[in-house]
Copies of this chain bind each other. A is one copy, B any other.
Amino acid sequence: MTLNPADESLAARLPKGVLREVSPAYLEEPRGRYFGQAGLVAAPRDVEEAAAVVRACAEMRVPVVPRGGGTGLVGGQIMPEGPAPLVLSLERMTAIRGLYADEGVMLAEAGATLQQARDAAAGVGRQFPLSLAAQGTAQIGGVLSTNAGGVNVLRYGNARALCLGVEAVLPSGEIMHDLKRLRKDNTGYDLRDLLIGAEGTLGVITAASLALAPVPAETGVAMLVVESPEAALQLLSLAQARMAGGVTAFELIAGEGLDFLADHFPQVRQPLDPRPEWMVLVEVGLPAGLAADAALEGLFVAGAEAGLVSDGVIAQSGQQAAEFWSMREHIPEANRAVGAIASHDISLPLSEIAGFIRDAGAILASMGDMRINCFGHLGDGNLHYNLFPARGRHRDEYDDLRRELSGRIHEMVVTRGGSFSAEHGVGRLKTGDLARWGDPARLAAMRAIKQALDPAGIMNPGAILPMPT
C-alpha cells in the first residue's frame, strides 16, 4: 500500500506486520450515518503489539479508533472529522485463551466474535448467555466496550455483569493485566467496569475473563397474547414469582410489527390468529424435574385467571421454539424493509412504560401521520420505539420532522426517569443528548476521568464526550 508522508512517519513506528489495507469495511457503520476518513489500519496480533500501537499514536498525537465487529449503531466506531485517526482493529486477536467449564469462566480475546464465544462455551456444556442479533459479527471487545444488552439481560445481566476481568491497553500505552477468574475481588477501584461501556475512549480492551452460566436443564418458549403493555408487565411480575427469577427473556411485540412482518416476510410463520394488538414472547430456563411446557402452561392458566392473558401458544419442540424466536428476530429486518423515520433505544422504569406508550402515541399523533412499532426487551424496561411513515408515504417526507420527533421522545423518556440510550451507547450519535440530559456532576466527573487517563485525548475522540474544540 502507498502512504502519505504523515502516515509514513507513524507507520515507521508501528510493530512490523500490523498494518492492514484500508477497505471500506473499516470506514462504514450499519446505519450509514457516519463515514470514516481514509488512513491507517493496524491489527495487532497480541497485547504487546496493541500496546506498541497505542504508544506510537500517543507519541505522534494520532487519534486511535478501536474497532471490533463494527456493528454498533451509534457511530462509536467511526471518526468522521478531526485529524485522521488510526483504526486499531482487534480482528487478529481472536483466541479463546482458556476455558474452565467447572469454574464457569472463559478467557477470550477481544476480536473473538460473540458467536465464537457462545460456541466455545457450548462446546464444554456451558453457555455464555449474552445474545443479540449481530452476534455473528460483533466481537467481545466491542460488546464489552459498549456494555451490550440483548434478549437475556433479564436473567443474566448486560455484558458488564458477565465480565470478571479485562486485559486492556490504557491511553498511556501501558497494559492493565486484570484477567482474573474471580467472582469476588475487592481490591480497589473498579477499572474493569469503567472500561466497560467507555466505548474505547479510556483504553482498548484486548481480552476478557467472561462468566459462563450452566445450561438450564429445561427450557421453553411461549407466545402469549396480552391486552396492553400494562397487562404484559403484570404478567412479567407473575412469571418472575412463579419461575424463581428463571424467566430468561420477556419480549414485547406490537401488532404493528406483526403487520410489517406479514408485508415483508410473509414466509415467517405467525402462530397467533387473529393477529394480536400486543403479545409477549416468554422464555424460561428451569431446573431438572420441572417440565418447561408444564411450567408455561401453569403461567398461562394463572395469567388467564388474573385476566392478563387471552390466548397463547407454547412451543412443543425445539424447532417450534426456534420458529418463535425467528419471528421475533425478523422484526428489526422488517423495520429496515419498511424504512424508519427515526429509531429510539430507550429504557424506562417498568411502571412508567404503559403511561409512556399511551402518552407518546397521543403526542406523536398530533405531530404527524405515522406508524409506531414499539417492541423490545420489556423485562429490562428497554423499548425500541421506532417511527415509520404512514402507509403510502416515504421516510424522506418526514426529514424536517425527524429531529423534533426524537427530541420530544427523549424528553418524555427522561422526564419519566428513563434513559435515551438503553443498550446501544452514546457513540457520536447521542453526545448531544448526553450533554443535554446528563447530570452535571456526573458529566464533570466523566470529563475529569477522561482528562486524567487520556490527557492527550487520543482515544476515540468525539465518542461519548464531544471533541475538544
Q: Which residues of A pack against B, CB within 8 Å? A: 100-105, 125, 146-147, 149, 153-154, 157-158, 160-161, 170, 172, 174-178, 180-191, 193-194, 196-198, 202, 213-218, 233-234, 237, 240-246, 285-290, 294-295, 298, 347-351, 377, 379-382, 417-426, 430, 433-434, 437-446, 448-453, 464-465
Contact = CB atoms under 8 A, between A and B. Distances in A.
A357 B94 CA distance: 35
A376 to B, nearest CB: 10
A218 B382 CA distance: 29
Given A242-B289, A287-B290, 5 more contacts: A176-B441, A189-B198, A190-B198, A216-B244, A449-B453
A186 B424 contact: yes
B191 A446 contact: yes
A167 to B, nearest CB: 10
A450 B438 CA distance: 22
Contacts of A193: 160, 190, 193-194
A73 to B, nearest CB: 11
B434 A188 contact: yes
Given A198-B189, A242-B287, A158 B184 contact: yes
A284 to B, nearest CB: 8
B419 A351 contact: no
B452 A186 contact: no
B181 A349 contact: yes
A337 B379 CA distance: 48
A319 B196 CA distance: 44
Give the interface centre of A180, A289, A451 by most chain B CB atoms within 10 Å.
Answer: A289
B183 A381 contact: yes
A160 B160 CA distance: 11
Contacts of A430: 187
A185 B347 contact: yes
Nearest to A100: B351
B190 A445 contact: no
B202 A215 contact: no
B153 A184 contact: yes
Contacts of A202: 189
Given A241-B215, A244-B218, A347-B184, A298 B288 contact: yes
A8 to B, nearest CB: 30
Given A174-B444, A298-B289, A349-B181, A216 B245 contact: yes
A110 to B, nearest CB: 17
A180 to B, nearest CB: 6
Contacts of A286: 244, 287, 290
Which 4 pairs of residues, A with B, have the shortest CB-CB distance?
A: A452-B452, A216-B244, A193-B193, A174-B441
Contacts of A154: 183
A263 B321 CA distance: 57
Contacts of A176: 439, 441-442, 445
Given A174-B440, A174-B441, A452-B452, A382 B183 contact: yes
Contacts of A182: 347-349, 381, 417-419, 422
Contacts of A242: 217, 287-289
A214 B243 CA distance: 9
A336 to B, nearest CB: 22
Contact of A183 (B105, B146, B380): B380
Contacts of A234: 102
A344 to B, nearest CB: 13
